[in-house]
Structure 1
Amino acid sequence: MVAAALTACGPGSGSDGRLELTVATFNEFGYEELFREYEAAHPGTRIVHRKTGQAPPHHQALFTKLAAGSGAADVEAVEEGFLSQVMAKSGKFHDLEQIGPGDVRPDRWLKWKSDAVTTRDGALIGYGTDIGPLAMCYRADLFASAGLPTDPEGVRSLFATWDSYFAAGDRYVAAVGEPWFDSAAQVFNPMHNQAATGYFDRDDQLAIETNGDRAIWEQVTGAVARGQSAKLVAWSKEWQDGFKRSAFATKTCPSWMLGVIEGNAGAEHAGKWAVTAAFPGGGGNWGGSYLTVPKQSAHPEEAAALAAWLTAPEQQIKAFVAKGTFPSQTAALTSPELLTRTSAYFGGEKVGLLFAEQASKVASAQYKGPQDGEIQDNVVAPALQAVEQGKSAEEGWRQAVDGAKKAAK
């Protein structure tokens, strides 16, 4: 347990003598109330929260501090998209099996969640927070206008495979003349993420030309050519407005996307969006994070204890209720509070049960090489956008391959 008080001020202690632990996160983890709860139970501890709005600047700052040898928080959050870069620097983080509470074992989490943050020599450098099991979200009213099924059970066959998904998109475009999905990258990424390895093989050799991505590229860019893409850049103002303008009918939908859709589409579209327990190709995960303890921490055992508490099933359920961050802990995934959770915005759907079922379909975590996230965000996504703006599929593919080779050097 964290010490109740320190006898003298020193590194990591405040002017009142309390132990000061810094926690650096980004976006929304749902931890604000949990921090207060932890401080109340540990009156000798003060938590200082460093919160960054988006994941990229948070991780850029973390990597800068790791390189400098100082400045990192006691507990640093790491997003799944940046995990490969963190794993390449695993020596700068503590093995939580060595310094963390003895009763916290990797089997607290889904196996693929803890496997992804375990080094080749067996060190566990992160405690899992949330995950992003994938389902499909769609506009039931727009489906009706195109003569497609509208209820969650009826639409499952449309989302059985990627072939059936794009075939349904052709039907939709032919019927109403409007786009089927928001952007090529938002479809390509989850398709790519279903493979066992990402842009690198397990020897960290670039594999974009041999890992099956070319076939995925042809499917997605072919759909773009047939009018299925709304050609919106994810997270841009135009993309956000697209939900309100009914600019597309389907959305690849990790659990955290429900809140994004509701926030962007607005109250006027409540009940029009629906979600179904189906995803082309069987399932997948998109997103989720970990809590790590850098070796720079002056109080690593206390930091690990805090990280362990925050990622306990009970706390992760509270975070889910607060911000919709879907838990990765096996006990949390069977919690009645999770399984009975419904969404009025999505027609009263039992979203807790639905995404727990989708999480169970993920067999393993994708292996990602050191520059995997950089290639996805800064190389492949812009190349797909270039195709949406008029570049040929072949030219876009060459742009992606050449950019990946440069990033991998």
Structure 2
Amino acid sequence: MAKGLRILAAAALAVLASTSAYAQEAPDRTISGSISVLTWPNNDRTFQALLPAFNAAYPNIKVNVQGIPQANNAYLNAVQRALLSGNGADVACVEIGMMALLRDKDQWVDLAEAPYGAKELMANFAPFTAANSTLPDGRITTLPKHTGPGGMFYRQDIFAEVGLPSDPKAVADLFSDWDAFIREGKKLVVPNQRWVIGNGEEIVRAMMAQAGVSYFSADGKLQLDHPVFKAGLEKVKEASEAGLISPFSAWSPEWQGAFQRGQLTTALYGNWFGGLLKRAYATDQAGKWSVTSAPAFEGKRAFNSGGDYLGVLKSSQNKEAAWAFVRWLVTDNESLKQQFSGDDLYPAWTPASKADWLNAPDAYYGGENVNAVFAPVQAEMTPFTLNPLDSVAYTAMGTAINNVARNVMSVDEALAGAKAEIEARM
């Protein structure tokens, strides 16, 4: 049987086996060659850690991982150069915020075609991720890797210290909505020393996702006139006036260090943020952190925050090996297990949802099974509508949020400024 047919047959077997998180297709160990994979930190470290398991399945494929920083669009530019130049990578990661900008490029391999058979795999991915990967004309240019079901990470020891409940359910009940978040959060503040939240963006992004509202509608219309944007900025203003928002810029060294110093008591991000706490920001705080549902907006608490995808470039000189790597990375039980246990990356591959490793107590959270929080979010959250100008809107709204939080502009002024900035690029 030709190698291409073997891959197609293997993909079909994977679909039949996918009812169990542990059922695996038999890898074609004869596939050989070298491939280059383009990604970003810390994904590069994650991929490097996976290579021994991948090579146990595919011993004759050599994988070279290239990590390009995300800052200043360096990674986006690297992917675009690879697509346009026809050299430099066989496989590339695409972060969800880049998907609308990159996914329809003709330089991606159509994984729906033979011998890849990705169309048969789509039913086993979280539905919104499969929709993001599948173009209107039926092409499949990427496979989903992980998602970002969101929640509220919090320092349960500091909560208890100030007289607040520390049990996840009790915290969820008390921090029931954004008004309660501000009201109860005041008790955690120590002026100029300790804050509740790193930045106002966490509030606005969560509220947008809870409302099921994106920057642009499905037909490309800017949606900043939707009430959730003003409501989000109003909450940022209230939180800032109450002393809840730190002076640190998100992702800055000062912001990262604030977690280690115990200066930030909550964080509202996707479940992947736990990996950063454990391995970078709060490495010696096992048992001090916990996770619960985010405060609700109009009765809804679920929100998505992040996720990424993998595609094969048409210019690849070894598409067979590239496809083997992509398929293994996003569907293989050992791969998904290591990504979750090593970096808290939540699988988009739904057969993994019942796996023991996804539903086990986590010592970092005092023995809590955090999937009890994240699994309902994955099932209930409204997906983000993607648009090529998302990064422009994200930056403009980030400026508006900071201007409100720092009392540089009123809510109406900041929102009008963001709208004008985005419309100028449309």
Counterparts of 1:42-191 in structure 2, within 5 Å, are 42-54=58-70, 56-66=73-83, 68-87=84-103, 89-99=104-114, 101-102=116-117, 104-170=120-186, 172-173=188-189, 178-191=194-207
Give yes or no for contact 1:338–1:353 (8 Å, CA) kept in 2. no
5+ residue gaps, structure 2: 5-30
Q: Which residue of 2 aligns with 1:396?
A: 414
2:246 is aligned with 1:230: yes
Range that drifts further, 119-128 or 40-49 = 40-49
CA deviations on 1:231-283 (whole Å, 9 max, x unpaired) are: 32111011012112322322113111112223455355332222124553321
Q: Secondary structure at the match of 1:20?
A: strand
CA deviations on 1:62-105 (whole Å, 9 max, x unpaired) are: 12333x33235111111112112123x44332221214533742
Q: Which residue of 2 aligns with 1:336?
A: 356
CA deviations on 1:336-383 (whole Å, 9 max, x unpaired) are: 12211x332221212344423332222x4210211112321x222123
Q: Secondary structure at the match of 2:133?
A: coil
Give yes or no for contact 1:100–1:304 (8 Å, CA) kept in 2. no
Give yes or no for contact 2:156–2:290 (8 Å, CA) kept in 1. yes
Q: Which residue of 1 aligns with 2:34?
A: 20
CA deviations on 1:205-234 (whole Å, 9 max, x unpaired) are: 222224631222222223222322113211
How far apart, in 1, do the equivalents of 2:52 and 2:163 lie? 51
Q: Equivalent of 1:266, from 273, 278, 282?
A: 282
TM-score with structure 1 setting the length: 0.86
2:284 is aligned with 1:276: no
Q: Give the drift of 1:170.
A: 4.1
Give yes or no for contact 2:186–2:242 (8 Å, CA) kept in 1. yes
Q: Which residue of 2 aligns with 1:14?
A: none
- Return closer, same or farther for 1:42/1:238 CA change in 2, 3 Å cut-off: closer
2:324 is aligned with 1:296: no
Counterparts of 1:374-393 in structure 2, within 5 Å, are 374-376=392-394, 378-393=395-410
Q: Which residue of 1 aligns with 2:388?
A: 370
Give yes or no for contact 2:144–2:348 (8 Å, CA) kept in 1. yes
How far apart, in 1, do the equivalents of 2:100 and 2:178 lie? 27
Q: Equivalent of 2:342, from 314, 322, 344?
A: 322
Give yes or no for contact 2:38–2:67 (8 Å, CA) kept in 1. yes
- Alignment length, in residue pairs? 390
Q: Secondary structure at the match of 1:62?
A: helix
- Identical-pair percentage: 27
Query: What do you get for the CA RMSD once the two structures are aligned?
Result: 2.8
How far apart, in 1, do the equivalents of 2:157 and 2:55 lie? 48
How far apart, in 2, do the equivalents of 1:191 and 1:296 lie? 41
Q: Give the drift of 1:107.
A: 1.2
Q: Give the drift of 1:114.
A: 1.0
Counterpart of 2:365, as a letter, is F
How far apart, in 2, do the equivalents of 1:100 and 1:208 lie? 43
5+ residue gaps, structure 1: 4-16
Q: Equivalent of 2:261, from 220, 226, 245?
A: 245
TM-score with structure 2 setting the length: 0.82
Give yes or no for contact 1:270–1:346 (8 Å, CA) kept in 2. yes
Range that drifts further, 17-26 or 278-287 = 17-26
Q: Which residue of 1 aligns with 2:18?
A: none
Give yes or no for contact 2:277–2:283 (8 Å, CA) kept in 1. no
Q: Secondary structure at the match of 1:198?
A: coil
How far apart, in 2, do the equivalents of 1:197 and 1:123 lie? 26
